A and B are shown apart, each in its own frame.
Chain A
């Protein structure tokens, strides 16, 4: 089974801090994704990456950046955390050898910015 591991289950950070959320997958998947989930809203795509050092903006990239130096690891960076970035963050990976492959998700990181 594919395993997607997010480094922290819960995080509490202060406004203005730089925050790193780490995600590692163990199945050599090309594509990796960062979503955030807020009450009443669907999962919203922040950034995705289809290869090492490649990244594309999703629907809500403002205030975030990403890094993918190795195929298995995809990091989400909050350059200067703000209270409106309090949310559940989900990492996912996907194999594109099949056209219709599903996403494999991590357990999520619940981030609180105070």
Chain B
């Protein structure tokens, strides 16, 4: 079982602020890293699947970077909106198994 840590556990930001959070994982035997967004009363939704060291992905105001050598990924949200409020989960792992972090719970205050 991989040890996956996400920080912070929770944060509150004002609408319009930009924010970022971290996912740390053991760097050995890396295969892929997933980011999911989980809104209350909905199912987790995939944001990104990242595989290459130095990879950067973007979806609207959300972007992510990956450093496989040092074992971390950052998720950035530019100009946070209330609809960005959710728990953000990262999950490194192999094709058959992913290990999820406990998530970062983001609340965007209007």
Residues in A lying within 8 Å of B, measured CB to CB: 4, 31, 35, 40-45, 48, 50, 56, 58-59, 90, 96, 99-108
For chain B, the count of residues having a C-beta within 8 Å of the partner chain is 24
Q: Are A107 and B98 in contact (CB under 8 A)?
A: no
Closest B residue to A56 by beta carbon equals B96
Given contacts A42-B4, A100-B49, A102-B49, contact A58 B97 (CB under 8 A): yes
Residues in B lying within 8 Å of A, measured CB to CB: 1, 4, 32, 34, 36, 41-46, 49, 51, 89, 91, 95-103
Contact of A105 among B32, B44, B96, B101 (CB under 8 A): B44
Given contacts A40-B102, A42-B89, A48-B97, contact A107 B43 (CB under 8 A): yes
Closest 9 CB pairs of A and B: A102-B46, A42-B100, A43-B100, A105-B43, A42-B102, A100-B49, A105-B44, A107-B43, A100-B32
Name the B residues within 8 Å of A104 (CB-CB): 46
CB distance from A77 to the nearest CB of B (A): 21
Docked Cα-Cα span, A31 to B98, in Å, equals: 12
Name the B residues within 8 Å of A108 (CB-CB): 43
Q: Are A103 and B46 in contact (CB under 8 A)?
A: yes
Name the B residues within 8 Å of A41 (CB-CB): 102
Closest B residue to A50 by beta carbon equals B96
Q: Which of A44, A45, A56 has the most CB of B within 10 A?
A: A45
Contact of A90 among B43, B46, B95, B98 (CB under 8 A): B43
Q: Are A4 and B43 in contact (CB under 8 A)?
A: yes
Name the A residues within 8 Å of B97 (CB-CB): 45, 48, 58
Docked Cα-Cα span, A44 to B98, in Å, equals: 9
Name the B residues within 8 Å of A103 (CB-CB): 34, 36, 44, 46, 98
Name the A residues within 8 Å of B99 (CB-CB): 42, 45
